[in-house]
Structure 1
């Protein structure tokens, strides 16, 4: 389901609005467990892209990365140029390299980042049977993006779990879920089929294949870290980024 566009603008009008999820490993971890990920997995902050000692604090391997960053004019302009050259994604079922959810819920980019992280690569094997997440995938994987988006948008179990966790964070949340926030979430995962690294963002036209890198079984390999560095470099000095890794819970 494509969000309707406001008259005279390219800004989508969403039918459903969530309060933003705090960019913190604790609520992210709580939410994946509520949705049905086994306690073996958790999110953890990545405090440096370059310092070996700080990187050593992150358990390995890392199954996915979630990058949180400000939606600046520079980012929006770059994104618009890239998307103008891409076709809409229509993948579904067994033919998909990765599982991608089109975003149709406002301010829920944290949820989409979480779903992209846990539904792809090795992390998917940690989904408990008969859980909210397993049933969501069972119902939605065979569907094309618009129909899959509608299944997620209408899922009351996902919405209830999200709302409970989102209101427990330390950060002040908007009283009105329709209020816009200035941060966005992008997930990087490895395809279990081809080994390619994909950038997954529900606000794009579909998954973005970023290629295959040596050692990319671990998402904190140098090639994957370079993708994150490139994101930051394009912002020309804006350091208001954070990064979380989906890892084994030690």
Structure 2
């Protein structure tokens, strides 16, 4: 069962919990996972090679329904997380009381999986889920549950574990062991039905509203300014240099 009391000073999953082999930071691997679960192949993940060069951005299919920011957890990030979360209540949203579906991470080395689930469970991506699929059932069952019970659902899902295991074995690099300590972390940015941009992170107290957008997608200038660019600027200033990161979008397939 998931831990009922969330440790906000140390949000990492205890070593006694179930651990997954970390997913490779690879759009093809991520796409394979969600397609196996039941997302239509008309949507898939894509590398975003620049957030400032218009020519490189033009190669990314649009509209982008979600962004996955992948970065190494740093002291500055942990300091900011603690400061920003200090006065927040632990999130208890569920069903119609929540604007976005948020998942608390209780499986070790599964932050990539949690980020992917945030991407496909929210915004317009929900419209591309195959009826009757494992993914539809998982989200349907998760929707009315409070965060602790929802985390239990993910923890005990055989369909989710099977799809993750299959995807984790497809990477191009040698996969680390499930019990290894991994410093890379995934944060997802999604837009809700009322055009609010949300930062979704299974290590936080809950989802974070980053501001109101226009009708544009999550790769629009305003969305990048409120989300990814602000995140990277803060990290660069705190760390005294440029942050190493990757960015992946969920958007229409090229085929």
Structure 1 gaps, min length 5: none
What is the TM-score of this pair, normalised by structure 2? Answer: 0.92
Q: Are the structure 2 counterparts of residues 87 and 160 from structure 1 closer, same or farther at C-alpha, using a change threshold of 3 Å?
A: same
- State the distance in 2 between where 1:205 and 1:38 align: 31
Query: Are the equivalent residues in 1 in contact too, given 2:4–2:148 (CA < 8 A)?
Result: no
Partner of 1:220: 219
Stretches (4+) displaced over 6 A: 3-6
Structure 2 gaps, min length 5: none
- State the distance in 2 between where 1:11 and 1:97 align: 25
Confirm whether residue 186 of structure 1 aligns to residue 187 of structure 2.
yes
- State the distance in 2 between where 1:154 and 1:225 align: 35
Confirm whether residue 230 of structure 1 aligns to residue 217 of structure 2.
no
Greater Cα offset, 218-227 or 107-116: 218-227
- State the distance in 1 between where 2:187 and 2:110 align: 12
What is the TM-score of this pair, normalised by structure 1? Answer: 0.93
**What value does the CA root-mean-square deviation take over the aligned residues?**
1.8
Query: Are the equivalent residues in 2 in contact too, given 1:89–1:206 (CA < 8 A)?
Result: yes
Q: Deviations over 1:111-159 (max 9, x none)?
A: 0110000111100010111111111112111010000110011001110
- Structure 2 counterparts to residues 229-248 of structure 1, below 5 A: 229-236=229-236, 237-248=241-252
Paired residues, number: 246
- State the distance in 2 between where 1:20 and 1:47 align: 22
- State the distance in 2 between where 1:174 and 1:210 align: 33
Partner of 1:203: 203
Q: Are the structure 2 counterparts of residues 137 and 11 from structure 1 closer, same or farther at C-alpha, using a change threshold of 3 Å?
A: closer
- State the distance in 1 between where 2:83 and 2:109 align: 23
- State the distance in 2 between where 1:57 and 1:68 align: 20
Partner of 2:37: 35
- State the distance in 1 between where 2:185 and 2:77 align: 10
Partner of 1:152: 154
Partner of 2:115: 113
Q: Deviations over 1:185-205 (max 9, x none)?
A: 00000011x211100001111
- Structure 2 counterparts to residues 1-250 of structure 1, below 5 A: 1-2=2-3, 12-14=13-15, 15-175=17-177, 177-192=178-193, 194-215=194-215, 217-226=216-225, 227-236=227-236, 237-250=241-254
Query: Are the equivalent residues in 1 in contact too, given 2:11–2:203 (CA < 8 A)?
Result: no
